[in-house]
Amino acid sequence: MVDQLPPARPAKTPLSPASVMLRLAGIGGVVAVILGGFYYVNGTLDSQRLRPKSFINALEHNNGVHSGYRRNHAKGMCVVGYFQGSGDAHALSTAQVFGAGRTPVVGRFALPSGNPYAPDSSVPIRSFALRFTQANGQQWRTGMNSMPVFPVGTPEAFYQMLQAGAPDPATGKPVPGAMPVFFAAHPETAAFLQWVKTAKPSASYATESYNGINAFYLVNAAGQRQAVRWGVIPLGQDAAGATAPNDADYLEQDLAKRLAAGPLKWQLNLTLAEAGDPTADASKTWPAGRKVVNAGTLVLEKAEAQNTGECRDINYDPLILPSGIEGSDDPLLAARSAAYASSYVRRTSEVDQLPQESRP
Amino acid sequence: MSAPTSHFAPLARLLHWLMALMIIAMLFIGAGMAASVSERHEWLLNLHKPLGIAILLLVVVRLFVRFATRQPPLPADLPAVQALAAKLSHVLMYALMFVLPLVGWAMISAAGDPVMLSSSLQLPAILPTNPSTFAVLRKAHTFLAYLLFFTVLVHLAAALFHGWVRRDGVLESMLKGKD
């Protein structure tokens, strides 16, 4: 078999023209199958599939395009501080953040709308995103909201909700009756609607509790996994006014004023699931009385304008997690991660178009 | 020993087919995860990053092997334009195999995201956080990936043309032969 000479080419009988055509068609067939497979996988040949950009396009359709801003939760403010771990969650998770040390935090308060100029009183919901940077370089990012549950449990239902909120092209306003029709068709929204009934736009970001809503797993040194939901509750904050002042931008002023007077604190709570508590459905509450672990204290020291502050360039992707925290089977987590990435590349492309604010 | 070889060295062939599998998988994984909001998005992403770094390491090994072993010459009767296309497409594929993982690594760095290959294995950032840099790199990553996909497709079609129509031994040189 070992032959130092180039093997003599076996004399080949020439191919007939029909055979050449057949062989070329075979090559074309192979190429076509691969191309078709690739364009199916990338969604081009699967027009019904929800893609990350479907959500971002729907948000832009509903709110208009505000270059440089997040496509959702567009109006907000950066905050900087740290997390002082209590050490009590260390038995549940190996994540460094749950030790007894300090972890630097860059956060962001915001309103849930794609309009960066929405009046603060326009929605009863406030949101709070956090990025913890551990000493080992790993990060924990989370986006929390002031409601206890999400209206829906699946990306498909959330997309339908965005469609129900689309403006009527004739009036530019939401189509009357579209939302009630959506809620009627989605009984899983009941828990959220129950909360909305009594929720009022708060006069301060500082007096709110914020809930992570989606379930995650904590993993300890023994490899044991515990399903949790987390949230923060305010510690010793002065009460906000009973009703929100009649001003479009009072939340930023309130936060700046409070931080000028001293740091603001929240307690980070981990609510431990018991067998049977739903981890895959953010529209469902967990029964009351679940064990709560106080993981430590979040301390905010400084606010920054969102167009120049450190939070501007952070994508608060809920699946950027340190070792010791894992995503659950909640389908909203992957959808949030994918859709945020789509919003992030659009807004980072436009960062030069952001107006530069001078305050606070 | 001066006689030209008729085939690629076995190690070069092993690397070629291993990387062919990895790169084609990688292109489909990338296209799929960028178009998915389901749990697939997450597990494809967790596959994409370590696989990309593996390709980056292998392409370095492969370049060494390429320069350390003999390559079979193209058939003497191959039209000059096809010979040139073969040479240029190979240079392009080597460049893209090397650059694409680096652009991916750089874009995650520019986003300020930790570069995690698993839940605990972390690579250092290779660029400082910068939104405009991220946006350019993120778009370049997609563009270069499509360029690689089409180059690989043309490469495959050309290989089959050599094997099925010209029957000139070029396809066989990557399939068999002992050294």
Per-residue model confidence as pLDDT tens digits over A81-126: 999 999 999 999 999 999 999 999 999 999 999 999 999 999 999 9
Q: Would A56 be classed as within a structural domain?
A: no
Q: Would A284 be classed as within a structural domain?
A: yes
Q: Would A8 be classed as within a structural domain?
A: no
Q: If pLDDT is split at 50, 70 and 90, which confidence band does A4 have?
A: very low
> What residues of A are in contact with residue B122 (Cβ under 8 Å)?
136-138
Q: Would A95 be classed as within a structural domain?
A: yes
Q: If pLDDT is split at 50, 70 and 90, which confidence band does A3 have?
A: very low
Tokens linked to A146: 């002031």
Nearest-by-Cβ selection for B129 from A9, A15, A313: A313
Question: Cα–chain-centroid distance for residue B164?
Answer: 24
Instruction: Please indicate whether, in this complex, the C-beta atoms of B132 and A320 are within 8 angstroms of each other.
Output: no
Considering chain A, what is the average pLDDT of its residues?
Answer: 93
Instruction: Please indicate whether, in this complex, the C-beta atoms of B37 and A317 are within 8 angstroms of each other.
Output: no
* Among chain B residues, CA nearest to A329: B39
Note whether A96 and A242 are within 8 A (CB). Answer: no
Alpha-carbon gap: B78 to the closest alpha carbon of chain A (Å): 15
Instruction: Please indicate whether, in this complex, the C-beta atoms of B111 and A344 are within 8 angstroms of each other.
Output: yes
Per-residue model confidence as pLDDT tens digits over A234-252: 997 777 665 556 678 899 9
Total structural domains within chain A: 1
B1 touching A (Cβ < 8 Å): yes
ipTM summary value: 0.95
Tokens linked to A37: 């497979």
Q: B133-136, long-range: CB within 8 Å, 24+ apart, which pairs?
A: B133/B106, B134/A313, B134/A344, B134/A345, B134/A348, B134/B107, B134/B110, B135/A345, B135/A348, B135/A349, B135/A351
Instruction: Please indicate whether, in this complex, the C-beta atoms of A313 and B157 are within 8 angstroms of each other.
Output: no
Nearest-by-Cβ selection for B114 from A35, A137, A334: A137
Give chain B's residues under pLDDT 70: 1-2, 179
B8 touching A (Cβ < 8 Å): no
Domain containing residue A246: 75-151+186-352
Q: Which residue ranges form the domains of chain B, and what is each CATH number?
A: 10-173 (1.20.950.20)
Q: Would A130 be classed as within a structural domain?
A: yes
Q: Would A57 be classed as within a structural domain?
A: no
Helices B131-160 and B80-110: angle between axes, nearest 10 degrees: 150
Instruction: Please indicate whether, in this complex, the C-beta atoms of B42 and A315 are within 8 angstroms of each other.
Output: no
Give the per-residue pLDDT at A11.
Answer: 57
> What residues of A are in contact with residue B36 (Cβ under 8 Å)?
43, 49, 51-52, 334, 338
Catalytic residues of A: 73
Instruction: Please indicate whether, in this complex, the C-beta atoms of A312 and B131 are within 8 angstroms of each other.
Output: yes
Give the per-residue pLDDT at A77.
Answer: 97
Q: Would A263 be classed as within a structural domain?
A: yes
Buried b (16+ CB within 10 A) or exposed e, A158-167: bbbbbebbee
Q: If pLDDT is split at 50, 70 and 90, which confidence band does A9 have?
A: low
Nearest-CA neighbor of B23 among B46, B57, B51?
B51
* Among chain B residues, CA nearest to A159: B37
Percent of chain A with pLDDT over 90: 86
Per-residue model confidence as pLDDT tens digits over A191-236: 999 999 999 888 999 999 999 999 999 999 999 999 999 999 999 7
The amino acid present at A146, given as its one-letter code, is: S
B132 touching A (Cβ < 8 Å): yes
Q: Would A17 be classed as within a structural domain?
A: no
Note whether A205 and A251 are within 8 A (CB). Answer: yes
Give the per-residue pLDDT at A273.
Answer: 98
Distance separating alpha carbons of residues B1 and A346, to the nearest angstrom: 58
CATH number where A212 lies:
2.40.180.10
Nearest-by-Cβ selection for A42 from B31, B114, B135: B31
Distance separating alpha carbons of residues B68 and B168, to the nearest angstrom: 25
